[in-house]
Amino acid sequence: ASNLDEIVKRGELRVAVQSGAAPYAFVDKHGNQAGSMIDFTQGMADAMGVKLKVLDYDWDGLIPALLSGKADILAADMTPTLKRALKVTFTDPWIHVQPCIFTTTGAGYQTLADVNKPEVTVGVLLGSTGEVIAKKYLPNAKIKSYKGGGRMVVQALTAGHVDAGVNDDLAVLTVLPDFPPNSIRLLDKRLGQGKDPLAFAVRPDSVNLWQWINLYFGTVRANGDYAKNIAYWMDGTDWKNDH
Amino acid sequence: MMAFYFSRLVEIFPFFLTGLWMTTKVAFISLITCTLIGFILGMIRASNNVLLKRLVGIYVAFARGTPFVVQIFIVFFIFPEWGLQLEAFPAALLAMAIMGSAFVCEIVASGINSIPKGQWESAASSGLSKMQQLRLVILPQSMKVIVPPLVGQYVLLIKDTSVVSVIGVMELTRVGWVTVVRIPEGLMVFALVGVLYFSISYPLILLSNYLERRMAI
Amino acid sequence: MLDNFNFRIIFEYLPLFLNGLKFTFLISLVALFLALITGIIACACRISSIKVLKYPVIAYIEIIRSTPLLVQIYFLYFGLPTLGIRVPEIQTGIIALMLNSGAYIAEIIRAGINSVDQGQIEAGLSSGLNYVQRMRFIILPQALGVTVPPLLGQAIVLVKDTSLLSLISVVELTRSGQTMTSERFMPSEAFLTVAFFYMCIYFCLKALADWSQRKLIFREAY
Amino acid sequence: MIEFKGVNKWFDKLHVLNQINLMIPKGEVLVICGPSGSGKSTLIRCINKLEPIQKGEIIVNEMSVHKPTTNLTKLRAEIGFIFQQFHLYPHMTALQNIMLAPVNVKKITKVEAEKIARQKLERVGLSEKADSYPAQLSGGQQQRVAIARGLAMSPEIMLFDEPTSALDPEMIGEVLDVMVSLALEGITMCVVTHEMGFAKKVADRVLFMDEGKIIETGKPTDFFDNPKTERAADFISKILTH
Amino acid sequence: MIEFKGVNKWFDKLHVLNQINLMIPKGEVLVICGPSGSGKSTLIRCINKLEPIQKGEIIVNEMSVHKPTTNLTKLRAEIGFIFQQFHLYPHMTALQNIMLAPVNVKKITKVEAEKIARQKLERVGLSEKADSYPAQLSGGQQQRVAIARGLAMSPEIMLFDEPTSALDPEMIGEVLDVMVSLALEGITMCVVTHEMGFAKKVADRVLFMDEGKIIETGKPTDFFDNPKTERAADFISKILTH
Ligand SMILES: Nc1ncnc2c1ncn2[C@@H]1O[C@H](COP(=O)(O)OP(=O)(O)OP(=O)(O)O)[C@@H](O)[C@H]1O
Ligand SMILES: Nc1ncnc2c1ncn2[C@@H]1O[C@H](COP(=O)(O)OP(=O)(O)OP(=O)(O)O)[C@@H](O)[C@H]1O
Ligand SMILES: [Mg+2]
Ligand SMILES: [Mg+2]
């Protein structure tokens, strides 16, 4: 039986997330799972006619959870690198984000070249897009990888443990309102060639699930659900009142 | 500013209580299982059966020699490959039981070994079987030596439950982490986490100190 | 599970692991040394009869013992800067481990000192030795024997505790495993390798502890 | 009846029992003495298999002690053993100490066991200490409770390993008195002791050991007043001079 | 010279020393005996302030022992104390045990201290055991090393608390021999012991205690053969009967 059959038979779609990444997936003030990816996977479950089960792990637990069969889908703000794709199968990117460099307002960095210096320390999230990009575009800077969500990097910046941070701009913009106004700014020029993809991942043997997810995104793009989700979670901040 | 923090605190507090409840649940169940298994293993470790002793020794070495986070990964993600697929909560309990019982085993074994040989001999001389010697004469006495460090170990085990957050059990530490993502007062959040841990650990520490003093007499 | 275990990748990442091992080793060593000093000083205060020394140290020990190390690390890392003290990660980690283990070590040493027979102290008193001399020549050498095995036990705990420093971006053994996992998606290989190295450290320390247990404990012989 | 047939025992290289042949008939009171380390304790500890032996055979009431098939529980129930350090169970009262084995080994009822226990306590003169814990008793009292505990199993044989040498001098008398009364009742007794008074009063035979060998045996008066061997003479003079 | 003036001591409610008046002139050998718990150990432990007292005064060589201003180091250097359980330092060789105090308290050189230590070891007949650790020595040897350790400070007074009662009977003699030789040399000695032979041989005076009080004192032969009080008579009969 295919993986999809199994899901339908058991009546439950299991998704592994890391709840440290607003607005993608996080725990809201009521203690519930919420976020853009949660809504998407809920949509998938509805379309399959099964229940959604969200499994929440630390970053370290995500991949093992998928590989060991705890979860069917890995839904994280994860970049599909070629090396990673040797072990898991990534769906087509469902969104492209733009990594950015952010720093304190007072700091003098303006361009990428200002940051790409040996004396500059840059904070990133372990295993995130930001980490991959930062290593690629800021080879001279000192990179420190944090765990525990995008806020950790911002917090490390305000505490002075790093001089700048690299993360996708959405994640940064989301947390900015929580810090004193105008204390943190984003460098104007985004990092990288263009936008960077984020993708869901499944086990290599789940070929039909992989196809199904691609088809799902095709469908919601066509019927406008995709745009609604993105508008609510990514473009506006209304969700902050609800969650 | 204080009022602002305070209202934040009030807002998040119920969530923390659910975390505290989960921590207490994991801790309580695993303390009991660790104690039961640990006592059995400890008796084996203090016995004369060389083979069983060795086996338990290897087990203890693994459980004490590797970080708990590695053990919990093995239980949760590698055991499935051997056919044991567990949900996060039971997996957390199993991992705690594996790790904790090794520590309890060592405490029990050294407690049993602390009883002078004469007590064994005296019990043996009156014709009691090996099991009876252990149950009626040795264990009741070694409790004096076992209980204070055991309670101390309980405190360590309670704190070790914080590690089960890596497999998604929503206990106190995890509540702290997911809360930090939403509100920026990291220090306040972790102060609260610390205070809540303190509130369950410290009474046990006091108990341990008290028992130590009482048993010393 | 071992049939699709990829040893080649482990060897490819071996330099990373060895680098992590090196840092785990160095951090543990420095932290242990500082924790020993902290523990000795804390213990001296703990057993002294001067109240202003004794009670703060009791509070320190009890607070450390009843809160998780994770919380302590986080507190130092993000709390010290608010006080205007900025310490780099490794140093922060070392300080956290020092304070944490120091509290436990203080208790271990105290237990060791208490284990020295009262008669030994009286023998020292009777020949006119003063407090410092009794400590130095009679109590401490004997307490050492009782203290070294649990101290090495604490060292084992400390080595494992360094794994928490990965949270504040310190590169050590556990972090090596995490890096390999996030780059190559091979958690089993990564974590079992990490476990293997920790076991190696454990066995060395354990052997040392057993040896010291046999060699250093002086039982009063009647 | 206890019989040693060519018994040899080593602790690693140390030859602690060297070709022991000995026959203790029923009802005999045997006193064993000899310098420290000569193997006296080891000798009597072998009788109820607290120690294994490497060669030879020990037979107690027709049971071969060290044969693996021997019912140890039965054997030990027939032998009472009194230790130098008493080894009372510190977590039990005197009464509980005495009742433990009858209830758990002989499987008699608690009520009956308590009756026996009180009777034995009375016999050693400690009726009123039934509910005291060992820590609340003087050394001499503890040793007497230990004897009562041994007697509660109604053994045919009682073994004593220096029963008075951990006691204050004024308490030695009370313990020896109990032992004398036992000896007069005809229980088979093997007593490691240096109490000459006791030996002279009730022992049927004195056995002198050195370096794992039985050097000399004889009637107490003969032995103490006219030892045959030089080693025994030397030993006796040492314990007498002070 | 040691003088007790109306000394009283309590452990909580327990009155362990009850109005003790006692004068021990220089050179006297005093034997103290009495039932267990009567306060013998406490009495001599007060002499070098191992125990505090609550009332009265003890004067040793013109120093008032319990006055806070008294130089304890000097006082204790003049008094040797020998314990029942020897209390040798287990982590030091016999020689190191003996040298510790002279080097650190008297501040003499190591070379000189070693010379003295070897001399004292010779005196107790253990020259060849200089480099042995306590665990390698028999009880009697350990106690003799402890005596040598006490002597190494050249004290004017030696206090002994049941120095032979933890020893095997054959080793008692060797320790008593050393003590007898000390007594004959004129050192002031206070010995808690029940060894009648020793008392009769060298004691100038025997002191009998019970319940914290001095009940009787007298010449050894008088005391043991014709005790004046009933309690002493009772006690003596007890330690004699066996
Ligand atoms: N468990 C043991 N392992 C090794 N050697 C032992 C053991 N028990 C006793 N020995 C040694 O065997 C010898 C005989 O010991 P044993 O206790 O029988 O002597 P003993 O005559 O009872 O002496 P004591 O009068 O001191 O009690 C001694 O040299 C002792 O050191
Ligand atoms: N540190 C202490 N605290 C409380 N009570 C004590 C202490 N030391 C001794 N005692 C009590 O004081 C009394 C006298 O004790 P002490 O040791 O002087 O008696 P002793 O005559 O030396 O007896 P023994 O012959 O048993 O050595 C005893 O009842 C004892 O229990
Ligand atoms: Mg013996
Ligand atoms: Mg005494």
- For residue range C9-31, what is the model confidence (pLDDT) as tens digits? 889 999 999 999 999 999 999 99
Q: Summarize pLDDT for E31-70 with one digit per residue, the tens.
A: 999 998 899 999 999 999 999 999 999 999 989 999 999 9
D32 lines ligand 1 (CB under 6 A): no
CA distance linking residue B1 with residue A200, whole number of Å: 42
Which tops the pLDDT comparison, B184 or A204? A204
pLDDT digits (tens, 9 = 90+) for E134-154: 989 999 999 999 999 999 999
Instruction: Give the C-alpha distances (Å, rounded to integers) separating C143 from B36, C149, C210, D94, E135.
Output: 33, 11, 16, 36, 17
Confidence of residue E2 (pLDDT cuts 50, 70, 90): very high
Strand-pair partners of C63: none
Dump the DSSP string for chain C.
Answer: -GGG--HHHHHHTHHHHHHHHHHHHHHHHHHHHHHHHHHHHHHHHHHSS-HHHHHHHHHHHHHHHHS-HHHHHHHHHHHHHHTT----HHHHHHHHHHHHHHHHHHHHHHHHHHHS-HHHHHHHHHTT--HHHIIIIIIHHHHHHHHHHHHHHHHHHHHHHGGGGGGGT--SHHHHHHHHHHHH--HHHHHHHHHHHHHHHHHHHHHHHHHHHHHH--PPP-
Chain A residues with CB inside 8 Å of C183's CB?
81, 83-84
D79/B128 Cβ within 8 A = no
How many cross-chain Cβ pairs, A to C, lie less than 8 Å apart?
62
The strands making up D2-11's β-sheet, listed across from edge to edge, are D14-24, D2-11, D55-60, D63-64
Which regions of E94-211 does DSSP assign to beta strands (E)?
157-161, 188-192, 205-210
Subunits with at least 3 CB pairs below 8 A relative to chain B? Answer: A, C, D
What are A's interface residues with B at a Cβ cutoff of 8 A? 19-22, 26-29, 31, 55-58, 60-61, 64-65, 67-70, 148-152, 155, 175, 178-179
Give the separation between CA B104 and CA B200, rounded to whole angstroms: 20
Give the mean pLDDT of chain A. Answer: 87
Give me the pLDDT at residue B50, please: 92
Q: Alpha helix (H) ranges present in A117-206?
A: 129-137, 150-158, 169-175
Atom of ligand 2 nearest to the CA of E209: 21
- Which of A19, A20, A155 is nearest residue B186 as measured by Cβ atoms? A155
Q: Which two tokens stand for residue D102?
A: 């009858």
Tokens 């050991």 belong to which residue? D209
What pTM, to 2 d.p., does this model score?
0.86
Ligand 1 lined by D52 (C-beta under 6 Å)? no
Query: pLDDT-based confidence at A178, cuts 50/70/90?
Result: confident
Cα-based angle B74, B75, B78 (whole degrees, multiple of 5): 55
Cα C121 from Cα E109, distance rounded (Å): 24
Q: Write the residue with the smallest CA distance to atom 29 of ligand 1.
A: D37
Query: Which of D31, D32, D38, D50 should be mutated for ligand 1, with most atoms under 8 A from CB?
Result: D38
In chain B, where are the structural domains located?
15-216
| Ligand lying nearest the CA atom of residue E34 | 2
Residue E165 Cβ contacting ligand 2 at under 6 Å? no
E strands, chain D, in order: 2-11, 14-24, 29-33, 55-60, 63-64, 79-82, 157-161, 188-192, 205-210, 213-218
Among D63, D66, D37, which residue's Cα sits nearest to residue D52? D66
- How much is the pLDDT for E241? 62
- What confidence category does residue A154 fall into, taking pLDDT thresholds of 50, 70 and 90? confident
Ligand in closest contact with the CA of E45: 2
Chains interfacing with E (3 or more CB pairs < 8 Å):
C, D
Closest-CA residue of chain D to E175: D242
Q: Which pLDDT does position C221 carry in this prediction?
A: 46
Mean pLDDT of A144-171: 85
Chain C hits for A83, Cβ within 8 Å:
183-185
Closest ligand 2 atom, residue E43 Cα = 18
Tokens 């290593």 identify what position? A135
B85 phi, psi to nearest 5 deg: -95, 115
The tokens of A103 are what?
Answer: 């720093």
SS3 D32: strand
DSSP one-letter string for A1-57:
--HHHHHHHHTEEEEEE-TEETTTEEE-TTS-EESHHHHHHHHHHHHHTSEEEEEE-
Q: How far apart are CA A161 and CA A153, in angstroms?
A: 9
**CA C77 vs CA A157, B161, B174, C175, C212: distances in Å:** 12, 22, 18, 18, 36
- Set of chain E residues whose Cβ sits within 8 Å of the Cβ of C221: 88, 90, 134-135, 137, 142
Q: Which one of the ligands is nearest to D12 CA?
A: 1
**Model confidence band, residue E220 (pLDDT cutoffs 50, 70, 90):** very high
E85 pocket-lining for ligand 2 (C-beta < 6 Å): no
**Nearest-10 Cα torsion for B46, B51, B52, B53:** 30
Q: How far apart are CA B188 and CA A22, in angstroms?
A: 20
> Ligand 1: which residue has its CA nearest to atom 13?
D37
Protein residue closest via CA to atom 5 of ligand 1: D11
pLDDT at site A158: 85
ipTM of the complex: 0.84
Q: How far is A142 from chain C (nearest CA, A)?
A: 12
Report mean pLDDT in 10-residue bins for chain C, 222 residues. Answer: 75 93 95 96 92 94 91 84 82 95 95 89 90 90 86 92 87 90 85 91 90 71 45
Write down the pLDDT at residue B165: 85
Q: What is the mean pLDDT of residues A177-206?
A: 83
User: Does the structure show a pLDDT above 80 at E86?
Assistant: yes
Q: Tell me if chain A has a CB within 8 Å of the CB of C118.
A: no
- The answer to whether the Cβ–Cβ distance between C128 and E74 falls below 8 Å is yes
Q: Kindly identify which residue of chain A lies nearest to residue B8, measuring between CA atoms.
A: A29
Inter-chain CB proximity C81 and A160 less than 8 Å: yes
Closest residue in B to A30 (Cα) is B15
* D47-59 tens-digit pLDDT: 999 999 999 999 9
Strand partners, E189: E29, E158
In one letter, which amino acid is D179? M
Nearest to B106 by CA among B47, B43, B24, B157: B43
Query: Residue C38: what residue type?
Result: T
Asked if residue C197 lies in contact with residue C159, where contact means CB atoms within 8 angstroms, the answer is: no
Query: D169-185 vs E230-241: helix axis angle to the nearest 10?
Result: 50
Q: What is the pLDDT of residue C51?
A: 92
**Residue of the CA atom closest to atom 30 of ligand 2:** E37
- Residue-level pLDDT at B217: 61
Query: pLDDT tens, A190-200?
Result: 876 677 888 99
Residue found by looking up tokens 């058991």 in the block: A10
DSSP state letter for A174: H
Please name which of A197, A200, A156, A198 lies closest in space to residue A175, comparing C-alpha atoms.
A156
**Which carries the bigger pLDDT value, residue D114 or residue B215?**
D114
Q: Is pLDDT larger for residue A135 or for residue E158?
A: E158
Q: How far is ligand 2, taken at its centre, from the CA of residue E42, in Å?
A: 7
Q: What is the CATH number of domain B15-216?
A: 1.10.3720.10
Tracing tokens 């943190």 back to the chain, one arrives at A184
Least confident of B6-10, B149-153, E76-80, E181-185: B6-10
Please state, in angstroms and rounded to a whole number, the distance separating the CA atoms of residues D108 and B136.
Answer: 16
Report whether pLDDT(E242) > 70.
Answer: no
Confidence of residue A123 (pLDDT cuts 50, 70, 90): very high
Q: Which residue segments constitute the domains of chain C, with CATH numbers given? A: 7-221 (1.10.3720.10)
Q: Does residue D212 have a pLDDT over 80?
A: yes
CA D40–ligand 1 middle distance (angstroms): 8
Query: Could you tell me which chain D residue has the CA closest to the CA of B121?
Result: D50
Whether D37 is in the pocket of ligand 1, judged by its Cβ within 6 Å, is: yes
Judged against a pLDDT cut of 50, whether residue D214 lies above it is answered with yes
Residues 6+ apart with CB under 8 A from C71: B173, B176, B190, B193, B194, B197
Q: Does A125 score more than 90 pLDDT?
A: no
CA closest to B186 among chain A residues = A155
> In the prediction, which pLDDT does A132 show?
83
Mean pLDDT of A37-53: 94
pLDDT above 70 for D242: no
* Cα of D205 from ligand 1 centre, angstroms: 23
CA of A184 vs chain B CAs: smallest distance (Å): 14
Kindly indicate the confidence band of residue D15, based on its pLDDT and cuts at 50, 70 and 90.
very high
E10-38 tens-digit pLDDT: 999 999 999 999 999 999 999 999 998 89
Q: How far apart, in Å, are the Cα atoms of E201 and each of E27, E30, E94, E174?
A: 15, 12, 29, 15
In sign, the C-alpha dihedral spanning E117, E121, E122, E127 is negative
B13 Cα–ligand 3 center, Å? 68
CB contact set of B119 (below 8 Å; sequence gap of 6+): B137, B138, B141, D87, D89
**Strands D63-64, E2-11: parallel, antiparallel or unpaired by DSSP?**
unpaired
Instruction: Identify the band that residue E187 occupies on the pLDDT scale cut at 50, 70 and 90.
Output: very high
Residue type, C152: L
> Cβ(D40) to ligand 1 under 6 A?
yes
| E35, E198, E242: residue with CB nearest D242 | E198
- Cα(E87)–Cα(E142) distance, rounded to whole angstroms? 9
- The residue-averaged pLDDT of A148-172 equals 84
Tell me the percentage of chain A whose pLDDT exceeds 90: 35
